[in-house]
């Protein structure tokens, strides 16, 4: 399409299909060298697939990829790597028990025999040259998220990479961490490396990128456009497309990260009276599943959504698990709707009005190989004795009417839960957890991986629950969506609640609290 000899990367008519799903549809694009390029789009737009095709991880069903004018064999990582392409994944792949030097050596060229000291000297020099402030002898698991990412990038630059692809690098970072990452990216550009950033926040695109390209539903909508020529609003329209109408202004901004929503006091406000949940001085026993809670005081009133913000892995998961009886409370007390449930089982807590939308939809929320009606009725069956007689046909009927009421798209209630799309699977969980008798709803990363329509649906459901008098705990690592939805935000850091904010929310101050800096 655009013949460009100066292009570091050119794709011609690239298409990728997974079964019935078209992940990339006839994408032709060329990126000039020496710049910072952003590729943006919603979940499911095909961004990650694009990155994987370019780096040789996925063989396109159609089309060709050229790096620096040289055609690379599709689906061959080594070929792409020899051409100078390196990809840093969204989820890090460094082995936690390795030292930094070992992780760098792993996959790099060099002799099979080495001493630890020699290895550390070699890689310390490389890290210093890239201004990564990490000791080469440190174990990966002791590094912060930012440091791990910096090491991943340094590792990608071990070979003479000419095109560095970062897949959603800011998703795991605090706003401050993202700023530092962008400085690092700019320095790479000065060294002559072309950087392709997969992003989904407009704010970040405009802060860093020289050009921007928009994917939607697997198609290239436009790009590469000079970033200086486009404003946030126009970009948001390109990203969201025709479904933009159904979104209110703040929701639209939150979805695209155009501008951080400030939040607003709800008209009604929280309902006075006994809180739906109250933690007093709660500490949990340390376990392998994230940092323990330390003396957490936390209250949710009926009729409010409390957002839990924080860099991932700072105890949000432990908080949810402690309230759900899946982490042991060592000290302190926990009350649900006025009842002390410190030592109660999850079943008893559910009976007291607790409902949980867990972090991992496909692991904690659903049994993918089991039929929908079994998934849907698990909670209510657990409230009965194990030998209680059940009528599968009655449960199927109840499940059907519940799923229909929640607008789930499915063929029949006997189909396995794994056959649903992410958004529909999440709706099944909503239909199970958001019944009338719930008093406290914990929604943990409920929109992760969902497309625009499903995300807006989940937000609306949580708002309705709040307006109906429920207390809602909303955990998300995406500050835009937290600000948009929450009536109050608390920030977690290393298993503690370190700050609390009320609207209007300020991105800088909340971001600072997330990293422990003083605002």
Partner 1 sequence: MSGQLGAIIRAVVFILLALAACGVIFEFAGYSAFQMFHSIVDGAFLRRNALEHALRWALPLFITATGVVISFRAGYFNIGAQGQFYVGAICAAFVAEWLRGYPGGVVIPLCFAAGMTGGALWALWPGLLRLRSGADEVITTLMGNFLAGLLLVYVTAGPLKDPSGSGQQASSRPLEAAYRISTSNGVSPTIIGIAILVGLAMWWLVNRTAFGVLSGLGGRNPTMVQWQGASTWKIGLASFLISGALAGLAGTIELMGPNGRLAGGFLPAHGFTAVLIALVAGLSITGAAIAAFFFGGLASAALYLPVMAGLPSAAIDIVNASIALFITARSRLVDTLTKAWRRPWKTS
Catalog residues that contact partner 1 under the rule CB under 8 A.
324-326, 345-347, 349-350, 356, 358, 360, 363-370, 374-375, 377-379, 381-382, 384-392, 409-411, 414-416, 419-421, 424
203 versus 432: smaller Cβ distance to partner 1: 432
| Choice between 281 and 414, CB closer to partner 1 | 414
Give the count of beta carbons closer than 10 Å to the beta carbon of residue 28: 14
Which of 264, 363 has the CB closer to partner 1? 363
48 DSSP assignment: H
Measured from the CB of residue 395, what is the shortest distance to partner 1 in angstroms? 8
Pure H helices in 74-144: 77-82, 100-105, 116-129
Give whole-number Cα distances, 358 to 343, 411, 447, in Å.
21, 25, 11
CB of 386 to partner 1, least distance (A): 4
Q: How far is the CB of 398 from partner 1 (least distance, A)?
A: 13
Q: Is the CB of 268 or the CB of 419 nearer to partner 1?
A: 419
Contact residues for 223 (Cβ-Cβ < 8 A; gap 6+): 29, 39, 211, 212, 213, 214
Q: How far is the CB of 441 from partner 1 (least distance, A)?
A: 14
Task: Output phi, psi for 55, to 5 deg.
Answer: -90, 5
Task: Give 479-482 contacts, CB < 8 A, sequence gap 24+.
Answer: 479/175, 479/260, 479/309, 479/507, 479/510, 479/511, 480/201, 480/253, 480/254, 480/255, 480/257, 480/260, 480/261, 481/254, 481/255, 481/447, 481/455, 482/307, 482/308, 482/309
Give least dist CB 488 to partner 1, A.
Answer: 26
What is the sign, positive or negative, of the torsion defined by CA atoms of 342, 343, 347, 352? negative
Which residue(s) pair with 334 in the sheet? 279
Going by DSSP bridges, is the β-strand pair 296-300/305-309 parallel, antiparallel, or unpaired?
A: unpaired
| Residue 11, token pair as written in the block | 């794709």
What is the closest distance, in whole angstroms, from the C-beta atom of residue 164 to partner 1 in the complex? Answer: 36
Nearer to partner 1, 161 or 352 (CB): 352
Strands (E), 95-232: 163-167, 194-199, 211-216, 219-226
Q: What is the C-alpha to C-alpha distance for residues 364 and 465, in angstroms, rounded to an integer? A: 22
Both tokens assigned to 245: 């109408």
Decide whether 278 or 375 has the Cβ nearer to partner 1: 375
Shortest spacing between CB 354 and partner 1, in angstroms: 9
Q: Of 392 and 504, which CB lies nearer to partner 1 in the complex structure?
A: 392
Residue 366: CB minimum distance to partner 1, A = 6
Closer Cβ to partner 1, 169 or 423, answer by number: 423
CB of 217 or CB of 379, closer to partner 1: 379
Q: How far is the CB of 451 from partner 1 (least distance, A)?
A: 14
Q: Which two tokens stand for residue 331?
A: 């000290």
Give the nearest distance from C-beta 271 to partner 1 in angstroms: 27
Is the CB of 115 or the CB of 369 nearer to partner 1?
A: 369
Strands 329-336 and 339-340: antiparallel
Measured from the CB atom, the residue of 85 and 420 that comes closer to partner 1 is 420
Beta carbon of residue 181, minimum distance to partner 1 (angstroms, whole number): 33
Which residues face 32 on adjacent strands?
Answer: 7
* Alpha carbon distances (Å) from 512 to 149, 412, 519: 19, 48, 6
Contact between residue 180 and residue 105 where contact means Cβ atoms under 8 Å apart: no
**CA 453 to each of CA 37, 58, 397, 446: distance values in angstroms, whole numbers, following the listed order:** 27, 28, 27, 13
On whether the CB atoms of residues 141 and 96 are closer than 8 A, the answer is yes
To partner 1, the closest distance from the beta carbon of 20 in angstroms equals: 9
Quote the CA–CA distance of 223 and 319 in Å, as a whole number.
43
Q: Which is nearer to partner 1, 131 or 360 (CB)?
A: 360
């Amino acid at each position: 399409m655009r013949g460009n000899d100066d292009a570091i990367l050119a794709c011609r008519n690239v298409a990728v299909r997974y079964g019935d799903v078209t992940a990339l549809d006839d994408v032709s694009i060329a990126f000039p060298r020496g710049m910072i390029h952003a590729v943006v789009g919603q979940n499911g737009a095909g961004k990650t697939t694009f990155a994987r095709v370019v780096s040789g991880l996925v063989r396109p069903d159609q089309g060709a990829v050229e790096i620096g004018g040289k055609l690379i064999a599709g689906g061959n990582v080594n070929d792409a790597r020899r051409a100078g392409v390196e990809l840093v994944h969204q989820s890090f792949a460094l082995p936690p028990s390795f030292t930094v030097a070992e992780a760098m050596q792993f996959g790099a060229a060099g002799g099979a025999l080495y001493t630890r000291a020699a290895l550390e000297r070699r890689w310390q020099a490389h890290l210093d040259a890239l201004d990564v402030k990490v000791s080469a002898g440190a174990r990966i698991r002791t590094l912060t998220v930012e440091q791990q990412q910096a090491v991943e990038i340094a590792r990608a630059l071990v070979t003479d990479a000419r095109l560095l692809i970062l897949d959603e690098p800011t998703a795991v970072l605090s706003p401050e961490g993202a700023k530092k990452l962008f400085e690092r990216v700019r320095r790479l550009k000065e060294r002559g490396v072309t950087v392709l950033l997969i992003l989904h926040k407009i704010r970040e695109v405009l802060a860093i990128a020289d050009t921007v390209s928009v994917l939607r539903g697997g198609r290239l909508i436009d790009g590469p456009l000079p970033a200086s020529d486009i404003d946030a609003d126009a970009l948001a329209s390109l990203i969201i497309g025709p479904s933009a109408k159904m979104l209110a202004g703040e929701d639209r901004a939150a979805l695209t990260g155009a501008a951080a929503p400030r939040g607003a006091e709800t008209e009604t406000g929280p309902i006075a009276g006994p809180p739906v949940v109250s933690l007093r001085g709660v500490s949990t026993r340390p376990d392998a599943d994230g940092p323990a809670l330390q003396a957490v005081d936390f209250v949710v009133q009926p009729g409010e959504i409390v957002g839990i913000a924080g860099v991932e892995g700072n105890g949000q998961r432990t908080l949810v698990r402690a309230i759900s009886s899946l982490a042991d409370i060592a000290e302190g007390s926990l009350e649900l709707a006025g009842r002390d449930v410190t030592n109660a089982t999850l079943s008893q807590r559910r009976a007291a009005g607790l409902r949980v939308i867990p972090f991992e939809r496909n692991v904690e929320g659903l049994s993918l190989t089991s039929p929908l009606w079994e998934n849907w009725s698990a909670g209510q069956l657990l409230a009965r004795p194990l030998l209680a007689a059940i009528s599968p046909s009655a449960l199927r009927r109840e499940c059907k009417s519940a799923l229909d009421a929640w607008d789930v798209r499915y063929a029949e209630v006997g189909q396995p839960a794994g056959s649903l799309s992410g958004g529909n699977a999440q709706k099944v969980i909503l239909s199970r957890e958001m019944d009338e008798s719930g008093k406290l709803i914990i929604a943990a990363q409920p929109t992760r991986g969902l497309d625009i329509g499903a995300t807006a649906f989940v937000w609306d459901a949580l708002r309705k629950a709040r307006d109906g008098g429920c207390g809602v705990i909303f955990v998300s690592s995406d500050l835009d969506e937290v600000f948009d939805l929450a009536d109050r935000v608390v920030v977690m850091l290393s298993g503690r609640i370190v700050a609390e904010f009320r609207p209007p929310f300020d991105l800088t101050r909340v971001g600072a609290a997330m990293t422990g800096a003083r605002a």
